[in-house]
Amino acid sequence: MIHVGLSEIKFAESPETLKSLGLGSCVGVVIYHEEWQIAGMAHVMLPDSDLARTAEFPQGKYADTAVPELVKTMIAHYRCPINQLKAKIAGGAEMFKSTRSLPMGSIGKRNVEAVKIQLDQYHIPLIAEETGKDYGRTVEFQTLSSTLTIHALFKGKSVI
């Protein structure tokens, strides 16, 4: 089991499993090569690196840096053809309901949208997602089966 912490990016090869705990408004992004049983996962916290307060930050923190880093490593290190990569995502919840509408929308929705924009830019198909709602998730990606198992407290388990 390879644990992917907040703002981290990690990679796995079969039969390894990538796991990220406690996705609330954060998004777990998995980019994988199904046939070669290789995957990378990022625990994305925020949509856009323009929000960074410092010049240096973990590449997995923002959607606009995490997805490019995942793609770059899958291509350069693992030699995966970009047109054979696929993606699955989970998270992006609205953990705290607000009585007032936020000017830029909920951070969870913005994270999901930012990840999807990045995937579209690389022409990586989004095969499955479980996003939104109002509860946190823990995710596990099995490289052997290319399945993303999602555990949600009081909601049970789903597999996409």
Sheet holding 86-91, edge to edge: 9-13, 38-44, 27-33, 86-91, 126-131
Rounded-to-integer distance, Cα 27 and Cα 33, Å: 20
User: Tens digit of pLDDT for each residue in 76-104?
Assistant: 999 999 999 999 999 999 977 655 555 55
Residue 130's identity, in one-letter code, is E
**What's the confidence (pLDDT) of residue 52?**
85
Across the range 114-129, mean pLDDT stands at 98
* 80 tagged catalytic: no
Residue 108's identity, in one-letter code, is G
* Strand pairing category for 86-91 and 27-33: antiparallel
**Taking all residues of the chain, what is their mean pLDDT, rounded to a whole number?**
94
**What's the confidence (pLDDT) of residue 51?**
81
Point out the catalytic residue in the list 23, 26, 41, 71: 26
CA-to-CA separations, 40 to 28, 34, 114, 153, in angstroms, rounded: 10, 12, 18, 25
H or E segment and range at residue 88? strand 86-91
H or E segment and range at residue 107? helix 107-121
User: Tens digit of pLDDT for each residue in 11-43?
Assistant: 999 999 999 999 999 999 999 999 999 999 999
Burial (CB < 10 A; 0-12, 13-18, 19+), residue 73, is middle
Level-2 CATH architecture, domain 2-159: 2-Layer Sandwich (3.30)
Rounded-to-integer distance, Cα 13 and Cα 54, Å: 33
Does pTM surpass 0.75? yes
